[in-house]
Amino acid sequence: MPNDRTATNPVLSDRKLKLGTFQTNLESGCCMSDLDGRLRISWPNTIALAKLAEEMDFDAIVPVARWRGFGGITNPQGPGFEAYTWAAGIAASTAKSCIASTSHVSLNHPITAAKQSAAIDHISNGRFMLNIVCGWNGAEMDMFGVPLSSVEDRYAAAQEWVDIVKRLWTEDDEFDFDGRFYQIKKGYLEPKPIQKPRPPIMNAGASELGRHFALKNCDIVFTLIRTHDYEVNKAHVAAYHKLAREQYGRDVRVWTHACVVEGETEKEAREFYDYYVHQKGDWKAAQNVIDTMSVEINQKDMPPERHKAMSEMFIAGWGGHPLVGSREQIVDKLAGLSRMGMDGVLLSWPRFEDGMKEFRDKTLLLVKQAGLRDAV
């Protein structure tokens, strides 16, 4: 097939464990800490991180769609670049990695999203991926005067949205669409994306509705690891594959996010973790995240120990699985993620640029020697 996406898009390669970066388009990256050396967002800084990712032959560069920050003393994720325009610029500045855009269903019309995605696919020469989010942040929706609807309505709208986008990407004839949420008259898109049959789609649906949406419609399911129990995590990943095959007759890939806290020794790494989380952490910003999410899931009375653990998780790396230790331990932990069935891991570092350079200079060779970057 001409322009088969498996030939141009590295997220669809047969590498054993694909790697990428996460949230390099936003101030502070994934941490919520008044840490010296944390990511300060500027175009030169975000380009530098993309160049480092390409230098290490990373497979994906994935942004987060954020319209306002979370306050506190650092307002993490406040300053930042809009995901589509950022992706276009990053695509033009790179040559190898998959470049994603993250798109809110309720804030981006499907025709606009399909058109912008096609443009970025051409700019990147077939390396684009669309990451769909259905919205949970009420304060962001308020900015746009868009009500935060029920979870059921959001996924019903998302189903219409993704159906329209896929049709625009793949159908040559104009079409009408008369749905509950969208009405399209003579829908049309040219040029089509380079990738055939279409660019890959990622989604992080975590609820029961979200899991079914992702498995029915998407190529990559993004999930977070909530425990250190290997068998529980392995079963969690396997459940995605089982449901996808049995209910939708599809194969999907499962990715996660991990935060790298690396030291010469485990003691050094844990001391740095304590410094940037417990001593410099922006606990007020983390509280604001939890308050926002608590409204979303209708959970008002959270036990104090659960509240503290969640706050620490967001401060450390936006909920990413903590990879804390020496470089050998980091590699062992990545190998563990691969053994439990993860196809890819989006990485972040508290000091993003310094952390990526240390990973490049000291750790990447060990990752390769462990066979994690080899073809399956």
Helix 110-123 with 83-92: angle, nearest 10 deg: 10
Instruction: State the pairing for strand pair 183-187/175-178.
Output: antiparallel
> What does the radius of gyration of the chain's CA atoms come to, in whole angstroms?
20
- List domains and CATH numbers for the chain: 5-369 (3.20.20.30)
Q: Which residues are CB-neighbours of 266 under 8 A, at least 6 positions away?
A: 324, 325, 326, 329
Residue of 206, 216, 186, 197 lying closest to 6 (CA atoms) = 197
Print the SS3 string covering the chain. CCCEHHHHCHHHCCECCEEEEECCCECCCCCCECCCCCCCCCHHHHHHHHHHHHHCCCCEEECCCCCCCCCCCCCCCCCECCHHHHHHHHHHCCCCCEEEEEEECCCCCHHHHHHHHHHHHHHCCCCEEEEEECCCCHHHHHHHCCCCCCHHHHHHHHHHHHHHHHHHHHCCCCEEEECCCCEEEEECCCCCCCCECCCCEEECCCCHHHHHHHHHHCCEEECCCCCCCHHHHHHHHHHHHHHHHHHHCCCCEEEEEEEEEEECCHHHHHHHHHHHHHHCECHHHHHHHHHHHHHHCCCCCCCHHHHHHHHHHHHHHCCCEEEEEEHHHHHHHHHHHHHCCCCEEEEECCCHHHHHHHHHHHHHHHHHHCCCCCEC
State both tokens at 32.
Answer: 């919520």
Would you give per-residue pLDDT tens digits along the chain (376 residues)?
567 899 999 999 999 999 999 999 999 999 999 999 999 999 999 999 999 999 999 999 999 999 999 999 999 999 999 999 999 999 999 999 999 999 999 999 999 999 999 999 999 999 999 999 987 888 888 999 998 888 899 999 999 999 999 999 999 999 999 999 999 999 999 999 999 999 999 999 888 999 999 999 999 999 999 888 999 999 999 999 999 999 999 999 999 999 999 999 999 999 999 999 999 999 999 999 998 887 655 445 666 777 788 999 999 999 999 999 999 999 999 999 999 999 999 999 999 999 999 999 999 999 999 999 999 8
Q: Burial of 150 by CB count in 10 Å (0-12 exposed, 13-18 middle, 19+ buried)? A: exposed
Q: What is the pLDDT of residue 147?
A: 86
What is the Cα–Cα distance from 356 to 359, expressed in whole angstroms?
5
* Reported pTM: 0.95
What is the Cα–Cα distance from 97 to 120, expressed in whole angstroms?
13
Amino acid identity of residue 365, one-letter, is L
